[in-house]
């Protein structure tokens, strides 16, 4: 199972630049979550304790004025880990059966320290999402 996850991480833009040992480390510090359709993964306003990488299924991100869908390879919950204001800005639900990796705050920061190259695709993702919100505010 761990080797399957490690191989899967190679296809995810955030981790694609990492070597096998680093991917294996990501697998080791992660927990696989399986959620039925409709389950809440993240609740707006609560403190963020980790981020999630969608492996299978769809995560519905309920923003204040609209909902967006994120699929396999996408990351949710990372914003609360990267700011001084750790509260969640959106509710995230399982749009269908959802399988994802959970990476805790402490583990995330250790991973970022050991593998700083993941910061570049993460910044790209954040910039793309910010641009989308600015261009489509409602």
- H/E run at residue 11: none
Return phi, psi of residue 97, to 5°: -60, 130
Return phi, psi of residue 12, to 5°: -95, 125
**Rounded mean pLDDT of the chain?**
89
> What's the whole-model pTM score?
0.87
Q: What is the pLDDT of residues 32-85, one digit of tens each?
A: 999 999 999 999 988 888 899 999 999 999 988 889 999 999 999 888 777 777
DSSP class of residue 121 equals H
Q: Which residue has the tokens 């696989």?
A: 32
Q: Which CATH class is domain 31-135?
A: mainly beta
* Residue 119 pLDDT greater than 80, yes or no: yes
């Amino acid at each position: 199972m761990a080797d399957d996850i490690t191989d899967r991480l190679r296809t995810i833009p955030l981790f694609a630049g990492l070597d096998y040992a680093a991917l294996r480390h990501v697998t080791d510090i992660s927990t696989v979550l399986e959620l039925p359709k409709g389950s809440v993964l993240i609740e707006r306003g609560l403190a963020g304790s980790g981020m999630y990488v969608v492996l299978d299924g769809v995560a519905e991100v309920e923003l204040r004025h609209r909902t967006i869908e994120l699929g396999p390879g996408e990351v949710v919950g990372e914003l609360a880990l990267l700011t001084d204001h750790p509260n969640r800005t959106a509710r995230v639900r399982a749009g269908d059966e959802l399988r994802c990796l959970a990476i805790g705050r402490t583990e995330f920061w250790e991973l970022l320290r050991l593998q700083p190259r993941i910061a570049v695709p993460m910044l790209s993702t954040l910039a793309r999402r910010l641009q989308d919100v600015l261009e489509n505010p409602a």
